[in-house]
Chains A and B, each alone.
Chain A
Amino acid sequence: MTDKARDAILQRLRNRQPGFDTPSQRVAIETPSWPMEARIAQFKSMLESVRAEVHVVEPENWTDCLKTLVAEKQINNLLYAKQGPLAEAIEAAWGDTLLPELVCDERPVDEWKEEIFFQTDAAVTSARAAIAETGSLVLWPDAFEPRTWSLVPPVHFVIVDGEKLYNTFAEVVEAEQWARQMPTNALLVSGPSKSADIQQTLAYGVHGPTELIVILKASS
């Protein structure tokens, strides 16, 4: 059935009238470009405007920042990727018994769905890049930091490197040559989950995390 449908659809599309004019004027689109300090300020203010938290810290201090935050927020357990890019620093910094338990389950998520859905307080993941214009994090979830980690627990900490802070989405796509190699799932996250479906009133934490906390590593 579907091959027949395919051929019929394509056939009809090829039958179109000739001379379909596409607007061909050249358009120059101005794209913003900020020096680093302003770029960080833009990134921060955009994310904060949608109720995300942004902490800009010296690169060597990010684990201290994370520790303070998890304590403040009374997180009981924190999901992290044992084989991920943040593991070494986190493990070295932890050790304090007052800190939440570090959890890492390396099985496929289907096998411990119950825990991640109903018993996990927070997750920490890295971001591949970030975008100043819109206050967005670029995530490419992988085998170590799976997709659900940034989605299911109510609190999501993201660690991002200031050097990877781009001006715009277009710039990321081009600079990183995305067209050559797309992952299974590439994602822009620009705040905690939200909805305005009830009487145009914003509510946070609909299906994804209620809190998004970004730690941006940048040397002053």
Chain B
Amino acid sequence: MQQRVDFHSRIEQALGNPQLKASLRSAMDGLMANRKACFPDADALEALRLRGAQIRANALSKLPQLLLQLEQRCTQNGIRVHWAESVDEANGIVLGIMREHQAELLIKGKSMVSEEMDLNRFLEAQGIECLESDLGEYILQLAGEPPSHIVAPAIHKTRQDIARLFKEKFPDIPYSDDVDTLTRNARGILRKKFYAASAGLSGVNFAVAESGTLCLVENEGNGRMCTTVPPVHIAVTGIEKVVEKLAHVPPLLKLLTRSATGQHITTYFNMISGPRRTGEKDGPKEVHLVLLDNGRSRIYEDNELVNTLRCIRCGACMNHCPIYTRIGGHAYGTTIPGPIGSILEPQKAGLDNLGELPVASTLCGACAEVCPVRIPIPTLLNRLRYERIRSDHDGATHGQGSGRTRKEAAIWKAWSWLHRSPVRYRLALTLATRLRKILPLGLGPWTRVRKPPRIAAKNLHRRAREEGFNDR
């Protein structure tokens, strides 16, 4: 995980890139408008969001039982279930499966958990080729970059960027920056890979406990390819993705696709409940499910912060975030960027590593307003700011107290001392008013782009008295 200096320099870098700014702005404007068009009725939307929040909160409240039920049902269905405490363990499990089958090519559908695992790099070091097949992820793999958005990974790139990249990587294919042509070229290249791959990997959007079903949302068909064509399918997911019932899936699906991209539904919604059965002519012969913890169970311990885990990864919070829109996903330096990333990632990697993220917010609340499962993101950002500076070390959050500095603590102590005494406060007011001509108000970064505010000649305490407003 990158350190704080990096965060600032990445921000500067992003802000200094006018093309990035333009791409992000138009992409986010489009995504916001699409979402809005999909939810014409505000009351119906609120009811649905409440339902979504209930379904996810219900699942979390029974998480251990539901995980066991999921394991049991999956096993009955012929899916092999693996548990991993850490990224290393999860990578080890995937490697083991690949080795067992002497598999050399893993073709991947879109999976943020595999990004979290940094699986590609890990397997490649072991001599196993990993190939992204989601068009956006494929483009980024060619470019050697991580995704900058969880739903639209290559949102920071223009079609000309992509055309140049294709030309560089595939000199035999004539240059084109036409989107259809680029897509057709990628289809041709990847089709051969689907054909040849010895294993496929996917993420999971919802894992249904009652039936042992893994649900996968996608538009391109690469998810279906990865989970249908190769003889082995490996699904990786975080332990929080479980839902109790199949009946819970339709409302979540509706919320997910509409919040994410403003689609009423995606092209494909896959519900996988096992490997190929006797007599079936295709489908993988083996299906593996890897359940990854990696810090989630720790988040789970706290009654307020646990709500972080409701997330269904729709990306709406980042689409509506004025900060994300300015700096893009890469600046965060985390697997998941944006508002949800700013609460989730510091809890996983520790506030000592990523404590700057919850601070870098205006708490404007645009994220919580759209979140389909009503995660109170600003409240949780505020909570993490507290965890970051609290000095009592009482609680589960990783890196607690690491952001406390003596200077800042002293400033707030003094602030409180001043404001909790009306006498001292009024004295300070009077003093500030007297010295208004010479007080250095808002020096520093504030006045770089703003005229400083002026202290009024008479403060309101005094004006109120003068104008005859009673004290009680």
A and B touch in the complex (CB under 8 A): yes
Interface residues of chain A, those whose CB is within 8 Å of chain B, are 1-3, 5-6, 8-10, 12-17, 19-25, 27-30, 46, 50, 106-110, 113-114, 117, 133-136, 141-143, 146-148, 151-152, 168-170, 173-174, 178-179, 182-201, 203, 205-209
Q: Which residues of A contact B89 (CB under 8 A)?
A: 1-2, 5
Q: Which residues of A contact B269 (CB under 8 A)?
A: 136, 187-188, 190
Q: Which residues of B contact A182 (CB under 8 A)?
A: 77, 211-213, 246, 271, 273
Could you tell me the distance in whole angstroms from the C-beta of B301 to the nearest C-beta in chain A?
5
B157 & A199 in contact (Cβ 8 Å cutoff): yes
Could you tell me the distance in whole angstroms from the C-beta of A193 to the nearest C-beta in chain B?
4
Q: What class of interface size applies to chain B in its complex with A? A: 35 or more
B16 lies within 8 A of chain A by Cβ: no
Interface of A is mostly: loop
B225 & A151 in contact (Cβ 8 Å cutoff): yes
Q: Which residues of A contact B93 (CB under 8 A)?
A: 2
- Which chain B residues numbered 262 to 301 have a C-beta less than 8 Å away from chain A? 264-277, 279-283, 291, 293, 297-298, 300-301
Contact with A along B84-123 (1 / 0, CB 8 A): 1100010011000000000000000000000000000000
Asked, given contacts A203-B183, A206-B221, A207-B187, whether A179 binds B246 with beta carbons under 8 Å apart, the answer is: yes
Q: Which residues of B contact A20 (CB under 8 A)?
A: 60-61, 303, 306
B250 & A17 in contact (Cβ 8 Å cutoff): no
Asked, given contacts A16-B300, A192-B267, whether A185 binds B220 with beta carbons under 8 Å apart, the answer is: no
Q: Which residues of B contact A24 (CB under 8 A)?
A: 54
Cα(A208)–Cα(B458), bound, Å = 71
B51 & A29 in contact (Cβ 8 Å cutoff): yes
- Which chain B residues numbered 49 to 74 have a C-beta less than 8 Å away from chain A? 50-51, 53-54, 57-58, 60-61, 63-64, 67-68
B221 & A207 in contact (Cβ 8 Å cutoff): yes
Cα(A188)–Cα(B250), bound, Å = 11
Cα(A196)–Cα(B151), bound, Å = 10
B84 & A151 in contact (Cβ 8 Å cutoff): no
> Which of B60, B213, B282 neighbours the largest number of chain A CB atoms within 10 Å of its CB?
B282
B47 & A113 in contact (Cβ 8 Å cutoff): no
Smallest CB-CB separation from B222: which chain A residue? A207
Taking A10-B67, A20-B61 as given, write out 6 further A-B residue pairs in contact, using a Cβ cutoff of 8 Å, ordered by the A residue number. Answer: A13-B239, A13-B297, A16-B303, A29-B44, A182-B213, A197-B134
A9 & B135 in contact (Cβ 8 Å cutoff): no
A196 & B183 in contact (Cβ 8 Å cutoff): no
User: Would you mind naming 29 contact pairs between A and B with Cβ atoms under 8 Å apart?
Assistant: A1-B92, A3-B83, A5-B84, A6-B83, A9-B291, A9-B293, A13-B67, A25-B50, A27-B50, A29-B44, A29-B51, A110-B282, A113-B195, A134-B265, A143-B281, A168-B250, A179-B211, A179-B245, A184-B276, A186-B273, A190-B266, A190-B269, A193-B268, A198-B154, A198-B157, A198-B179, A206-B186, A206-B219, A208-B220
Q: Which residues of A contact B239 (CB under 8 A)?
A: 9, 13
Smallest CB-CB separation from A185: which chain B residue? B272
Smallest CB-CB separation from A188: which chain B residue? B269
Smallest CB-CB separation from B163: which chain A residue? A198
Name the 6 nearest CB pairs between A and B, nearest first.
A208-B221, A197-B136, A207-B221, A12-B297, A109-B282, A134-B265
A199 & B249 in contact (Cβ 8 Å cutoff): no
A22, A133, A195, A196: the one contacting B61 at CB < 8 Å is: A22
Asked, given contacts A12-B297, A147-B283, whether A27 binds B159 with beta carbons under 8 Å apart, the answer is: no
Cα(A208)–Cα(B64), bound, Å = 37
B228 & A184 in contact (Cβ 8 Å cutoff): no
A6, A27, A114, A197: the one contacting B47 at CB < 8 Å is: A27
